[in-house]
Amino acid sequence: MKTRILLASLATATAMAFALPALAADSAQDFVDKAAAGGMFEVDSSKLAESKVQDKSVKDFARKMIDDHGTANAKLETIAGEQKLTVPKELDAKHKGDVDTLQNGKDPIDGPYVQMQRDAHADAVKLFESYAKDGDNVELKTFAQQTVPTLKMHQEMIEKIAATMGTQSSSSQTPKVTVGDKPEQAPPLPGANSFTEDQAKGRIQDAGFADVSKLTKDDQGIWRGQANKDGKNTTVALDYKGNVVAGTN
């Protein structure tokens, strides 16, 4: 009887010993899947942005994303290979949808690209910080720890760009004048708007508005709704370039 119990205990212990690496690999694989998808999105979306954005600071940012994330992607692939983990070769559905939005969006795509980068880097910083702290694979954990500072630098860069664009947008209340004194059309500008409702709401909030509601996209591609600023209710609009304008009809 005792022999049977001992054998059963040994069998259980052996099974647990083999199970633990599998659980660790699953967790490490999850990190690789998410990190690789995010990294591929950075490169693919930024390659599109290089040729489709207008603002020089946004174009320079896109070039940096291609370089920095391209390097990080290669390093992740090397580590994953050494750890016998699989690196996905295609984007997941969400990131593919975002790339398609940029691909099909009317030039320039500065606004949508910047907002996507803000969202992507917020997610990436959380993912890498979490794995850097609690990761179960030593090599990947070190990779995450080394990559976090770069991701945070990227996040600071894109937030500054977004703030500058927001300031420019909210101050664009009068038409600009070009050569020959022919006024340009004042925002909000009609055009194919690739902002989703959530992205439009976030963009408007970033421009200093609260309680954004009743957002609908009109036949000119302009998101229009209600918002509150400085304690006053107002109409608000967001065009395809990311311009936020209050007091529109």
- Judge if 165 and 200 occupy the same domain: no
- Judge if 184 and 154 occupy the same domain: no
Give me 93's structure tokens.
């559905």
> Could you report the per-residue pLDDT of 8-26, keeping only the tens digit for each?
443 444 333 333 333 333 4
Q: Quote the domain boundaries for residue 126.
A: 2-170
Which residues, in sequence order, are bridge partners of residue 177? 183
pLDDT at 9: 42
**Which of 116, 147, 170 corresponds to the end of one domain?**
170
What is the count of structural domains for the chain?
Answer: 2
- Judge if 9 and 111 occupy the same domain: yes
Bridge-based pairing state of the strands 244-246 and 232-238: antiparallel
- Judge if 156 and 189 occupy the same domain: no
How many Å apart are CA 209 and CA 202, to the nearest integer?
10
Could you say which DSSP state residue 193 is in? -
> Could you report the per-residue pLDDT of 140-195, keeping only the tens digit for each?
999 999 999 999 999 999 999 988 876 454 444 433 333 444 445 688 888 777 78
Residue type, 109: I
